[in-house]
Amino acid sequence: MAGAGLTSADGNQELFPCEDCGRRFAADVLERHAPICRKLFNKKRKPFNSLKQRLQGTDIPTVRRAPQAKSQRVRKSNWRKQHEEFISAIRAAKLCTLAMKEGRPLPPPPAPTINPDYIQCPYCMRRFNENAASRHINFCKDQSSRRVFDAAQTAARLASRAQARAQASPPKE
């Protein structure tokens, strides 16, 4: 009884699929595995089914739909506002150029269309709504510090390159 009967002629053990997980096991292993697997499977299956039932309920789709519609609306109005500001900026610039050409006093600056709820970025002075501001300011801070760092690095690189060239080139005669 060394399990020799379970080994086929070519040396491979005959394997049987587990009814619950479909994995294949030798008969003696399956005997031990099957009851454990069934227990595990039943445990796993229960929360899965209840989750499925919850997903089939009406609360999740409505929760999901609401913020999407909101963000779309916000984006649209932002786009329109930005577009209007862009147009008025162009118009103001044109008036300025015309006034300068004709030697007339410059027109007064256009009325500020700044939304008081907007937060100004201290790095680029642009204004953003509350949601975008914190994200942008972090980004802008990062960008501005990186720019300074890059400039310093570029200067250092150029200096060392110039030095290397001076050393490499033969002295002038």
Short-list 4, 5, 28, CA closest to 15:
28
In the complex, what is the shortest distance from the CB of residue 118 to Zn ion, in angstroms, rounded to a whole number? 12
Largest Cα–Cα separation, the chain: 112
- Considering the complex, state which of residue 51 and residue 124 has its C-beta at the smaller distance from Zn ion: 124
In the complex, what is the shortest distance from the CB of residue 142 to Zn ion, in angstroms, rounded to a whole number? 10
Distances (CA, A) of 88 to 26, 83, 113: 79, 9, 10
- Considering the complex, state which of residue 34 and residue 92 has its C-beta at the smaller distance from Zn ion: 34
CA 99/CA 108 separation, integer angstroms: 11
In the complex, what is the shortest distance from the CB of residue 81 to Zn ion, in angstroms, rounded to a whole number? 18
- Considering the complex, state which of residue 21 and residue 26 has its C-beta at the smaller distance from Zn ion: 21
DSSP 8: -
- Considering the complex, state which of residue 30 and residue 95 has its C-beta at the smaller distance from Zn ion: 30
CA 137/CA 94 separation, integer angstroms: 31
In the complex, what is the shortest distance from the CB of residue 59 to Zn ion, in angstroms, rounded to a whole number? 35
Cβ contact 13:26 at 8 Å: yes
- Considering the complex, state which of residue 95 and residue 118 has its C-beta at the smaller distance from Zn ion: 118
Q: Is 26 helix (H, G, I), strand (E, B) or coil?
A: strand
In the complex, what is the shortest distance from the CB of residue 80 to Zn ion, in angstroms, rounded to a whole number? 22
The residues of the shown chain that bind Zn ion, judged by CB under 5 A, are 18, 20-21, 37, 121, 123-124, 140
